[in-house]
Homo-oligomer: A and B are copies of this chain.
Amino acid sequence: MTSRPEDTDRTFPAGIAARLRREILTGELPPGSALKERDNAQRLGVSRTPLREAVRILGQEGLVTLRPLRSPVVADPSLAEVLDEIAVLRQLEIFSGGLACQNATPEEVELIAALAADVAAHHATGDKVDVFDQDMRMHTAIADAAHNAALSRTYREYLARLWRVRFVSARERADAPRVLADHQDMIAALRARDSQRMTAAIASHLDGMVRNVTRHFQNREGNARQP
């Protein structure tokens, strides 16, 4: 088969990366598993070259770990590493929030409010993945409202990198009320251009994330230890 990249394609290496990313985030490719070039290339119906490039993209995103002359493996970060990342995310989000209070246009504020409403609406009904995407969209909208392109980019990176841990942590226990309350608080702060309040809401939000993730790791510790 000389390959038929006609189906789920899009600029190719990026498309491959997207497929692999989803497989990693959903757990089809579990943490610690090796990504052999030849196997995955054949499985996805492409040659090794674009697959290689896709793996590098994921490596940059922190979803896979690259080792010289060895198979890349799906990343399996420790609690400490994740908490480090959350700490940086917190700083980025607080910075975003402050700038957004200062720079957001009224239209952007309303867009953010609408996205928050979407999250609240779908929280009970829709599937978790969709809700998480909604949530991510709302938060990146805040980052965008800061009107700092570099900040948006880096913030998105961190959010994507933490997507999986947040997901598996959040589905163990739903602390929806607090999350949604934080969102409302953020919007109120944004409308009032009150960066103090914004910072407080964001801090609460991130504290919740730290609690969820920590509990998740502790539970996992109590359970199975893979060989």
B53 with A88: CB separation less than 8 A: no
A9 within 8 A of B: no
Measured CA separation A56–B95 after assembly (Å): 29
Contact with B along A55-83 (1 / 0, CB 8 A): 01000100000001000000000000100
Q: A112-120, A130-138, A148-156: which lies at the B interface?
A: A148-156
Contacts of A87 in B (CB 8 A): 148, 150-151
Lowest 5 CB-CB distances: which A-B pairs, in order?
A85-B150, A84-B148, A84-B150, A91-B95, A88-B150
A92 within 8 A of B: yes
A223 within 8 A of B: no
A11 within 8 A of B: yes
Measured CA separation A91–B85 after assembly (Å): 15
Contacts of A92 in B (CB 8 A): 88, 91
Across the interface, A84 reaches (CB within 8 A) one of B11, B53, B84, B151, namely B151
Q: A87-B150, A88-B148, A88-B154 are in contact. List 14 more A-B contacts (CB 8 A).
A: A53-B56, A56-B56, A60-B60, A81-B149, A81-B150, A84-B148, A84-B150, A87-B148, A88-B92, A88-B95, A88-B150, A88-B151, A91-B91, A150-B158
